[in-house]
Copies of this chain bind each other. A is one copy, B any other.
Amino acid sequence: MSLIVQKFGGSSVADAKRVFNVAGIVTDTYKEGNDVIVVVSAQGDTTDDLIEKANEINPHASKREMDMLLSSGEQISASLLAMAIEKLGLPVVSMTGWQAGITTDSNHSSARIRKINPERIKNEIDQKRIVIVTGFQGTSKYDNITTLGRGGSDTSAVALAAACHADLCEIYTDVDGVYTTDPRIVPEAKKLDEITFDEMLELASLGANVLHNRSVEMAKKYNVNLCVRSSLTRAEGTVVKEVVNMEKMMVRGVAKDCDVARISLVGIEDTPGKAFRIFSLLAKHNINVDIILQSIGRNNKKDISFTVSQTKIDEVVDLIKSNKDNIGFEDFSYTTAVSKVSIVGAGMVTNPGVAAKMFEALYEAQINIHMIATSEIKVSVLIDEGCEQKAVKVLHDKFELAL
């Protein structure tokens, strides 16, 4: 008998039929003798519909009120799933973030979980109830409702698994695991049976769209057994863990991310503290920067380029314009017509030929590289928007990932 956390995304509970499909998975797990905590996202397009409602009234509504609005979506899906499980004749109770004891910071719309008090959940589990918790949300210490930002339900699931010492945290999606790349682009893409936290982290943050990166970070930190599997096929899925059976594969997957915008500041005075000013400004406004490139100084001037999510580009441009004097630069430009493609693999750092092989494949396909960033287990390149599918294909071929 184990305690299992199961997370289902919005498309898995989009309509009554799918809600019953999920209820089937949950109750089967329960009937096998396990305790089950379920985390659900809002149904299908609910969140988008609510955002549209808000935009109609006030496109600049406060984040606090947006969180109040959006959190209703999970409350609806959680209670509907509970009703389906009731229909199947099993004991169940649904809970909002505050009922589940999830406390976050006050950073509305992208809050981070601070603490989970699992007392009530444990109580309900002790009474042999299936517990359903609204994903994506919690409350701040001021008792305001917060949301964790898009994809935050994965984080809710992992955090609950950690707080309740669950034996396993299953993330159900509409794909049956983590692939060497997106199977919609490369049909030969292979499903991975196992992957390390670090590799998954790179794939997640690189836009593989399978797991939210914060959830993987948290799983790594608290050593939560994580598994990605399909709510449709019930196939085995991919296990994410600390160390995997390494085989000899160096490159484990290819990922693309189209939600990228590049900003370049030109002619910055080459004195200490400039980079600090730029990035502390962005950090203060809670803007995540991905790739950063700084040119080598020349004539006492240097250039700094960096990438952010496209959703943040307006905010970043405003910030940079209004802090021009403070930062000190001659000119700046930005574009959203770029994409990021990356190769990921834990064995990469020990094999210097990998990056070269990547650049070779892109050169052969006549794809121009604008920026390059490397870490111990990945190489990312920024290329023109529109080339990313081709890039993924040629890289998948080059590294023979289908074999």
Contacts and interface: CB of A to CB of B under 8 A. Distances in A.
B72 A75 contact: yes
Contacts of A312: none
Contacts of A87: 57-58, 60-61
Interface in A16-52: 16, 19-20, 50
A230 interface: no
Nearest to A43: B53
Contacts of A94: 65, 68
Contacts of A78: 68
Nearest to A139: B99
A66 B79 CA distance: 7
A330 interface: no
Given A71-B75, A75-B72, A83 B98 contact: no
A69 B16 CA distance: 15
Given A16-B57, A87-B58, A76 B65 contact: no
Contacts of A80: 53-54, 57, 69
Contact of A83 (B58, B79, B144): B58
Interface string A284-298: 000000000000000
A178 interface: no
A54 B16 CA distance: 9
A66 B83 CA distance: 8
A68 B50 contact: no
Interface residues of A, number: 39
B86 A62 contact: yes
Contact of A75 (B20, B75, B82): B75
A85 to B, nearest CB: 9
Interface centre among A61, A65, A69, A71, by most chain B C-beta atoms within 10 angstroms, is A65
Nearest to A50: B76
Contacts of A58: 83-84, 86-87
Nearest to A87: B58
A66 B80 CA distance: 8
A62 B92 CA distance: 10
A79 B53 CA distance: 11
14 contacts: A16-B57, A50-B76, A54-B79, A54-B83, A57-B84, A58-B87, A60-B86, A61-B86, A62-B82, A68-B82, A68-B96, A72-B73, A72-B75, A72-B79
Closest 5 CB pairs of A and B: A61-B83, A69-B79, A68-B79, A72-B72, A58-B83
Interface of A: 16, 19-20, 50, 53-54, 56-58, 60-62, 64-66, 68-69, 71-73, 75-76, 78-80, 82-84, 86-87, 93-94, 96, 98-99, 120, 143-145
Given A54-B80, A68-B82, A69-B83, 10 more contacts: A16-B53, A20-B57, A50-B76, A53-B76, A60-B86, A66-B79, A68-B96, A69-B76, A72-B75, A96-B145
